[in-house]
Amino acid sequence: MFRQKLRPHRPFRQTATVHGSQTKTVQRNKWMNFRSIITRWVPLGSAIYVGWCYIRASINYEVSKVEILFYEMFPFRVTSRIWGKLAACELPTSLRSFVYGTYIKMFNVNLNEAEFTDLRYYKSLSEFFTRPLKEGARYISPCHCVSPCDGVVLNCGPADTDKIEQVKGVTYSLEEFLGENKWNKRKDDNYYNSLLNNKDNVLHQCIIYLAPGDYHRFHSPCDWTATFRRHFSGKLLSVNPWLARLIPGLFAINERAVYVGEWKHGFFSMTAVGATNVGSIEIYNDPELRTNTKGKRNRISEIDLGHVQLKKGELFGQFNMGSTIILLFEAPKDFKFDMASGDKVLVGQALCAATKEQTR
């Protein structure tokens, strides 16, 4: 009664061929669209290139300026934001022990120092990165200046010129790093001299690198008053020690939050430097600070803090992964660091030898 219109039969082999070509087209589009290039190929290419640079640095191979420029062109700010979102995702309780346990083995994390040793307590990788220490895990030295974080000393000593060593033989500009001197009323044509309260003093610096397995919170290194903050929205290149030997001015290129004030000897500054996958620098007394946000990389924001009193050993902020803390401060010429480049330091460890009066 009802006649169906017959359609010509298509051979099975032909159907499979058409289906196969469609599948290949879909897969090709899946891997070649703009989103895949940013989220898959760029991170993969970055990891391969950084690994290759590491191998060549380990055999003292001199990397060319063109290669460094090529490395700087990678969109590390984008990949860092993606990584930050992934790290903030809540993990199922059943996976936490495996994920964090793998991380502990890879980066030699000392979990016994953590306030919470049960891995199931940490909801995300970000929470695990910024884990607090148990009370008494760090001894705060009576010395008037102590280490603000756990890490490895890249460089320390007097900085008596505008060009400062970030590692041996590689420098960065003091003025480019700190920016225009707006925090005091002293005017001097020489930028270096404009920072000093006492012309008989000199600046000293201490650069400490936080590895991925280190405790990621940082503390106030001394009793001081913070009055000014400047945020540079720069790049997010890796600050690994071997890369710091390759890129001059690395710390003046990367994103950083500079806090300036005074301590017992005069000028004092503490800077948290961002790095690859460190998309978030959090400062507890500065909730307005927002790092690794969208926009041009050469943005600079400033804020007068008033007079924020900070005590030695007090919590100051945290990184969402390892990065670098740089101290630049005024002190007498005979100020001596009680450590050297390459030394491992812990929060509260004396930066200089304590005097007899301080140990009483």
User: Looking at residue 264, what is its pLDDT?
Assistant: 93
Give the SS3 label for residue 218: strand
What are the residue boundaries of the structural domains of the chain, listed by start? Answer: 18-65, 151-354
Is 70 exceeded by the pLDDT of residue 160?
yes
State pLDDT tens for residues 273-289. Answer: 988 776 578 899 888 88
Burial of 126 (0-12, 13-18, 19+ CB in 10 A): buried
- Euclidean distance between CA atoms 122 and 19, whole angstroms: 46
Mean pLDDT, the chain, integer = 81
* pTM for this predicted structure: 0.78
Strand order of the β-sheet with 344-345 is 299-310, 224-233, 256-263, 266-273, 324-331, 202-209, 151-159, 344-345
| Both tokens assigned to 289 | 């600070």
Query: Looking at 31-45, 134-148, 181-195, which range is the least confident one?
Result: 31-45
Query: How many CA atoms, within 13 angstroms, populate the side-chain half-sphere of residue 263?
Result: 23
Region 292-320: mean pLDDT is 87
Region 25-38: mean pLDDT is 55
Token pair 């590491």 in the structure block, residue? 54
State pLDDT tens for residues 148-159. Answer: 999 999 989 888
Cβ-proximal residues to 171 (8 Å cutoff; 6+ apart), any chain: 163, 164, 165, 248, 249
- Euclidean distance between CA atoms 224 and 331, whole angstroms: 13
* Residue 223 and residue 310 in contact, taking contact as beta carbons nearer than 8 Å: yes
| Both tokens assigned to 346 | 């812990």
Is 80 exceeded by the pLDDT of residue 319?
yes
State pLDDT tens for residues 344-357. Answer: 999 999 998 754 33
- Euclidean distance between CA atoms 304 and 25, whole angstroms: 57
User: Looking at residue 4, what is its pLDDT?
Assistant: 52
What amino acid positions are annotated as catalytic residues? 150, 219, 323
State pLDDT tens for residues 71-122. Answer: 777 777 777 777 778 888 899 999 999 999 998 998 899 999 999 999 999 9
Q: Which residue has the higher pLDDT, 46 or 138?
A: 138
State pLDDT tens for residues 48-75. Answer: 766 666 665 565 555 566 767 777 777 7
